[in-house]
Structure 1
Amino acid sequence: MVTVNRLSDSPQAFDLAQRTQFPSHSQDEATILFATDLSSSSRVGVNWATLLARLCGAKVLLLHVETPPASSDHLHHDYSQVRSRSQSALQSLLPTDPAVRSNYHVVLGDPAQQIVDVAEQKNVSLIVLGTHQRKGLQRILKGSVTESVLRYASCPVFVFPLGSAG
């Protein structure tokens, strides 16, 4: 595993960006989707996505997936409040690099399925994901969003360990 103190000093990221030729889905510029759980490590993922976007001439789409509440009685009321908080959090995470265009999106549903669906709907060229690196019983009980996205995404997926330096 490579630990990078500053993303701009990462020869691995630069090499990946140089070797990556994003497929042309249309005349639009390439899009890098960073899916975030809004944890404290989210800034690291935004930095990775921004660096790769700058090196590849792509834009960044930040995505957060809210999991539906167990009861549908409070779905509409609770979701509008949660969505508003999530949008504020995503807005504060938007890349500050003036050379990189960015936007954000909040959806409701199963995180892995929604990440794959949004990537397809938006013709995403690359997905950037953090992984909690769960092992054993915790992985069995909670599953792995990253593993599911890797399995079902139709575009490349860049995975970094959450909590890594950035």
Structure 2
Amino acid sequence: MKKICIALDTSPSAEKVAKIGFNYAQLLKSEVVLIHVVNHIGVYVNSYNPIMNYNGFLINRDIEIVESLEKEAIKFLESTANFLGEPSTEIKVLNGDPEHQILTFVEEYNADLLVIGTHSHSFLEDVLMGNIAAQIVKNAKTPILVIPVKG
């Protein structure tokens, strides 16, 4: 395995996912990229003309908010790379639907392995929101190491 992609969210369980994924990469002497998806940045952007004299609640700060979200995601990934002892680890911030963005990136990066975590959502959360990890496993063409994370 030459390339390992570790997908992280900002939950406390990300530490476990990062450590295990990074340990695999070290043992296999693989290149690593840490990725984080900012979910649907477009939701925060209001690029349309006022509708019925309504400008939207974010019209004046759209660009600042988007840039802020991306900057914080970069800081998170840089902090993770430092925590793992490899500050030069490649990082990538994506935006949009997490499942689609992760699967697309893994394919374009030609990753040999994707490392993701699962969360123990309630049944209702899984029904309403879907389980991102389950959808990734279902639709991936790349081998996946799924780290079970509870709580």
| TM-score range relative to shorter protein | 0.7 to 0.9
Q: 2:44–2:66: 8 Å Cα contact kept in structure 1? A: no
Query: How many residues are treated as equivalent by the alignment?
Result: 134
Gaps of 5+ in 2: 47-57
1:32-86 deviation digits (Å, cap 9, x = unpaired): 1111111112111111111101111102111000012535315533211100011
Give yes or no for the alignment of 1:58 onto 2:58.
Answer: no
Q: 2:44–2:65: 8 Å Cα contact kept in structure 1? A: no
Q: 1:33–1:124: 8 Å Cα contact kept in structure 2? A: yes
| CA-CA distance at 1:163 after TM superposition | 4.4
Q: Identity over the aligned pairs, expressed in percent?
A: 25
* TM-score of the pair, normalised by structure 2: 0.80
The code of the aligned residue for 1:38 comes to T
4+ runs of 1 displaced by more than 4 Å? Answer: none
1:7-50 deviation digits (Å, cap 9, x = unpaired): xxxxxxxxxxxxxxx3xxxxxxx111111111112111111111
Give yes or no for the alignment of 1:145 onto 2:109.
Answer: no
Q: 2:4–2:113: 8 Å Cα contact kept in structure 1? A: yes
* TM-score of the pair, normalised by structure 1: 0.74
SS in structure 1 of the partner of residue 85 of structure 2: coil
| CA-CA distance at 1:128 after TM superposition | 0.6
Rg comparison, structure with higher value: 2
The answer for the alignment partner of 2:142 in structure 1 is 155
Give yes or no for the alignment of 1:72 onto 2:45.
Answer: yes
Match of 2:115 among 115, 124, 128: 128
* d(CA) in 2 for partners of 1:97, 1:122: 20
Q: 1:111–1:145: 8 Å Cα contact kept in structure 2? A: yes
Q: Higher mean Cα deviation, 119-128 or 36-45?
A: 36-45
Gaps of 5+ in 1: 1-21, 23-29
Give yes or no for the alignment of 1:116 onto 2:96.
Answer: no
* d(CA) in 2 for partners of 1:163, 1:140: 18
Q: Alpha carbon RMSD of aligned pairs, Å?
A: 1.9
Q: 1:50–1:97: 8 Å Cα contact kept in structure 2? A: no
